[in-house]
Chain A
Amino acid sequence: MDLDFTAAEDAFRAEARAWLTAHVPAVPLPSLETAEGFAAHREWERTLFADRWSVVSWPEEYGGRSAPILRWLIFEEEYYAAGAPGRVSQNGINLLAPTLFEHGTDEQRARVLPSMASGEVIWAQAWSEPESGSDLASLRSTAVRTDGGWLLSGQKTWSSRAAFADRAFGLFRSDPETGRPHQGLTYLMFPLDAAGVTVRPIGRLDGKPAFAELFLDEVFVPDEDVIGAPGQGWRVAMSTAGNERGLTLRSPGRFTAAAERLTGLWRDGADPSDTALRDRVADAVVAARAYRLFTYANASRIAAGESIGAESSLNKVFWSELDIALHETALDVLGPYGELSDEATEAPAHGSWAEGHTFSLAGPIYAGTNEIQRDIIAERLLGLPKGRR
């Protein structure tokens, strides 16, 4: 057992750090949940891609570096430590791409992945529906067979960044006759500017159009945009869900960097006699460290050929609660300045704590609510009996 990096891994870290030092914007970009910020973040994706830093774990033919998971973790640590911008392409990179690697065709990969890696096409996830949140398999949007493809109809909602994105991927009921909710679903990709699509942005808590609802009225999708076999959509989707909750959606680097910044903030400004606050800072630091080490252990497990299953639910609950703890504690350390929104010109650290706090509050809801994750942990990892759900 060790935590040592090889010379090659250290060199990779140094290369990433040097590149980031030279390229990370000196002034933070505007919030990616605004039109202006979205465009600026898209531009940043292009910059990353130009030097093959946007998708380091992908094969080289699609613009990556074929980096194994440990190097990806190293890159992410450097990325967030450098204060680099949030990733506007994350839905595509973390959710659609793994699905295409596992279930897509060569043609789909060649067509979809490079423009995703460069930020030219930004993807939105269209899974949830107004009546289908946690009980996703109850979804009702339909895909009806037509000449050479499918016609999509229905309503999707809470689709992150769909207000500004280019394309979306999601699940549709293609065979309503099966009588079983998990069967007869098909996984498809579609353009958000196609005839029959209406996008209505929805303001999140702070009013920014961070997600949108999609109204679909007989939107044509060719057969080549079906992922996996028609009718097998649930199975395809579930491999993506594991990615979302597990390692790839929230890398530890993000939290260790935030814990570092929190420690600095606390050292610079907090009342040293407030030991209750000190304890919360320490707990956030300990949890960020635990998350990093837990991920290293998982990376070791994956390198040894094991796979991560329901364990990804442990991660999901942990990182989402850690993210809130980090940001709440930071706002408390800021005292009266903690109230300022990220749009206040005097908001500390360009409002990144405020915006981060708003974002963190959604963590226990998206990617499968923490209640559902706790059910999965109890039933699949502890072997407790299934209850009504």
Chain B
Amino acid sequence: MRFLLDDEQREFARSLDAMLTASDTPGAVRAWAAGDTTPGRALWSRLAEAGVFALAVPEPYDGLGPLPVELAVAFTELGRHAVPGPLVETVAAAALLDRLGDQDAAAAWLPRIAAGKAVVSLCVPAVGSPYALDPDATDAVLVVAGDTLLLTEESGPVQPSADPARRLARPLGGTVLARGPEVAAAAAHAADVAALVTAAQALGLGRALLDRTVAYVKQRTQFGVAIGSFQAVKHRLADTLIALEFAQPLLHSAALALTGPDGPSAGREIAAAKVAAGDAAYAAARAALQLHGAVGYTDELDLSLWIRKARPLREAWGTPAACRARVLTP
């Protein structure tokens, strides 16, 4: 047993972090929110070059995967940098198409997903939300309705999310890609993958919020001293760290569970990771906002890009209540 990331996985995380740090992701997030996806798509291509999407695609279709642990590592970094776009949905769509057993559909989409050429949104209203994420910025929107898989081209008007970089719309109509029990099974697996990488994003988001807040409270002075020397401030940040530190191993073991056969225990582990990471990230956002004071409550500071994501990530692909119920499912 060695329940720690290996050197290669850590190096992968470090290199993604460095690449995203150098990429003005806040600029891409703001542009995406305003409907300009050009910088976001450029970022997407760089992520594809780094191999992020290939992790969700099996080797016969030009991928490296599926590698859930590496996906969790990558999505932690994507969350840390608040990268915009249907990242979760694209890897979940890859998982679905891989499981479907329909070689034509897989051949049509998976190599393009791996190469970063196809941005795909996925909507499974039965387990997630009735809205597709960013349908106006994608190459395809897949919708699962019961045991039917649809490819939709049209969607309703954008319904603004609490996070302006998440553009939500209802998919409308569509053509049938597949039908049958294998659709429901593949969709359930895809939803698990989506929940896992959403949890990873939340964890990374929380870590970024904590890092930024620690840096801020060290330099902001009031009453003649750094506010980070006040115990009420310290203790809140200590609690933030505790929640994040204990969510991380849940995430990693959930990813390991997905490398084995699907079963109730994998589902429980993913739900546990999702609930812990979602709550930890939201608590980190609350702490970040509080400890930045009024400046944290503005949309001018980039911090707001992270703060506003915390709540949506907590709800997406498994609400806290749904996850908690699943944790206790025998």
B249 touches A297 (CB 8 A): yes
Contact A379 B234 (CB under 8 A): yes
Cβ contacts under 8 Å, A223 to chain B: none
With A287-B246, A290-B247, A293-B252 known to touch, is A5 a contact of B1 (CB < 8 Å)? yes
CB distance A286 to B272 under 8 Å? Answer: yes
B residues near A6, Cβ cutoff 8 Å: 1
Task: Choose one: B2, B226, B239; the contact of A2 (CB below 8 Å).
Answer: B2
Is the beta-carbon distance between A387 and B275 smaller than 8 angstroms? no
Question: Given A296-B249, A374-B234, is A317 in contact with B242 using a C-beta cutoff of 8 Å?
Answer: yes
Give A287 to B276 CA distance when docked, in angstroms.
8
- Closest Cβ of chain B to A343, distance in Å, is 32
What's the Cα separation between A293 and B218 when bound, in Å? Answer: 32
Which residues on A sit within 8 Å (CB–CB) of B2?
1-2, 300, 303-304
Q: How far is the CB of B70 from chain A (nearest CB, A)?
A: 10
> Are the C-beta atoms of A384 and B228 separated by less than 8 Å?
yes
Q: Which residues of A contact B235 (CB under 8 A)?
A: 371, 374-375, 378
Partner of B218, one of A374, A385, A387: A385
**B122 → chain A closest CB, angstroms:** 26
Residues of B within 8 A of A5 (CB): 1
Interface residues of B in 139-160 (CB under 8 A from A): none
Whether B33 is near chain A, meaning CB under 8 Å from some CB there, is no
- List chain B residues, Cβ under 8 A from A384: 214, 217-218, 226, 228-229, 233-234, 237
Is the CB of B24 closer than 8 A to any CB of chain A? no
In the assembly, what is the distance between CA of A267 and CA of B328, in Å?
Answer: 9
A383 and B218 contact, CB distance less than 8 A: yes
Determine if A314 and B242 form an interchain contact, defined as CB atoms under 8 angstroms apart: yes
A385, B215: Cα distance in complex, Å: 11
CA distance A238 to B246 in the complex (A): 25
Cross-interface CB contact of B3 among A267, A281, A293, A382, cutoff 8 Å: A293
The distance from the CB of B227 to the nearest CB of chain A, in whole angstroms, is 10
Residues of chain B within 8 A of A287, CB atoms compared: 246, 276
Please tell me if the beta carbons of A300 and B242 are within 8 angstroms of each other in the complex.
no
Q: Report Cα–Cα, A144/B325, bound state, in Å.
A: 62
Q: Is A381's beta carbon under 8 Å from chain B?
A: yes
B226 to A385, Cβ gap below 8 A? yes
Asked if residues B234 and A375 are in contact (CB atoms below 8 Å), the reply is yes
0/1 interface trace, chain B 221-264, chain A, CB 8 Å (1 if under): 00001101111011101110110011111101100100000000
Q: How far is A269 from B104 in the complex, measured between Cα atoms in Å?
A: 51
Tell me the chain B residues, 41-97 only, with Cβ under 8 Å from chain A: 69
A164 contacts B by Cβ under 8 Å: no
Residue from B5, B226, B245 with most neighbouring chain A CB atoms (10 Å) = B245
> Given A377-B238, A387-B234, does the pair A314, B256 have CB atoms closer than 8 Å?
no
Whether the Cβ atoms of A290 and B3 lie closer than 8 Å is no
Indicate if B161 sits at the interface (CB-CB under 8 A).
no
A291 contacts B246, CB within 8 Å?
A: yes
| Interface 0/1 of A1-16, CB less than 8 Å to B | 1111110010000000
A285–B245 alpha-carbon span in the complex (Å): 17
| A278 at the binding interface (Cβ < 8 Å) | yes
Instruction: Using known A-B contacts A371-B235, A374-B238, determine if residue A282 contacts B3 with beta carbons closer than 8 Å.
Output: no
A283 to B275, CA, bound (A): 8
Taking CB as reference atom, which chain B residue is nearest A377? Answer: B238
**Once bound together, how far apart are the Cα atoms of A379 and B276, in whole Å?**
25
Q: Say whether B286 faces chain A, with CB atoms less than 8 Å apart.
A: no
Shortest Cβ distance from residue A285 to the other chain B in the assembled complex, whole angstroms:
6
Say whether B328 contacts A285, CB under 8 Å.
yes
| A12 → B minimal CB distance (Å) | 13
* Contact call A378/B245, Cβ cutoff below 8 A: no
Q: Does A273 contact B (CB under 8 A)?
A: no
- List chain B residues, Cβ under 8 A from A373: 238
Q: Is A359 an interface residue (CB 8 A)?
A: no
* Contact yes or no, A294 B249, CB < 8 A: yes
Q: Is the CB of A4 within 8 A of B1?
A: yes
Are the C-beta atoms of A301 and B218 separated by less than 8 Å?
no
- CB within 8 A of B234: which of A275, A291, A378? A378
Q: Considering the complex, give the chain B residue whose CB is closest to the CB of A375.
A: B234
Shortest A310–chain B CB gap in Å is: 11
A317 contacts across to B, CB distance below 8 A:
238-239, 242
A75 smallest CB distance to B (angstroms): 15
Q: How far is the CA of A373 from the CA of B235 in the complex (A)?
A: 9
B6 at the interface (CB under 8 A from A): yes
Chain B positions within 8 Å of A167 at CB level: none
Query: Which of A290, A297, A299 has the most chain B CB atoms inside 10 A of its CB?
Result: A290
Query: Once bound together, how far apart are the Cα atoms of A373 and B231, in whole Å?
Result: 12
* Contact present for A293 and B250 (CB under 8 Å): yes
Task: Give the CA-CA distance A290 to B244 in the complex, in Å.
Answer: 11
Residues of the B chain whose Cβ atoms lie less than 8 Å from the Cβ of A382: 210, 214, 234, 237-238, 241
Residues of A within 8 A of B242 (CB): 314, 317-318, 377
Q: Does any Cβ of A come within 8 Å of B175's Cβ?
A: no
User: Residues of B contacting A375 with CB < 8 Å?
Assistant: 231, 234-235, 238
Interface centre among B69, B231, B234, B320 (most CB of A within 10 A): B234
* CB pair B321 A279 closer than 8 Å: yes
Nearest residue, chain B, Cβ from A282: B324
Residues of chain B lying within 8 A (CB to CB) of residue A294: 245-246, 248-249
Distance of A75 Cα from B121 Cα, bound (Å): 47
The distance in angstroms between the C-alpha atoms of A366 and B229, with both chains bound, is: 25
Closest to B325 in A: A278
- Please tell me if the beta carbons of A1 and B238 are within 8 angstroms of each other in the complex: no
Tell me if B118 is interfacial: C-beta within 8 Å of chain A: no
Using an 8 Å CB-CB cutoff, how does the interface string of A258-283 with B read, 1 for contact, 0 for none?
00000100110000000100110111
Q: Which residues of A contact B (CB under 8 A)?
A: 1-6, 9, 70, 263, 266-267, 275, 278-279, 281-283, 285-287, 289-291, 293-294, 296-297, 299-301, 303-304, 314, 317-318, 371, 373-375, 377-379, 381-387
What are 15 A-B contacts defined by CB distance under 8 Å? A3-B1, A70-B1, A282-B324, A290-B276, A293-B253, A294-B246, A296-B3, A304-B4, A317-B239, A373-B238, A382-B237, A384-B217, A384-B226, A384-B228, A387-B230
Identify 10 new A-B residue pairs, CB closer than 8 A, beyond the known A266-B328, A283-B275, A378-B235: A1-B5, A1-B69, A2-B1, A279-B324, A300-B1, A317-B242, A374-B231, A374-B234, A375-B231, A382-B241
Question: What 4 A-B pairs are tightest by C-beta distance, nearest first?
Answer: A293-B249, A378-B234, A282-B324, A377-B238
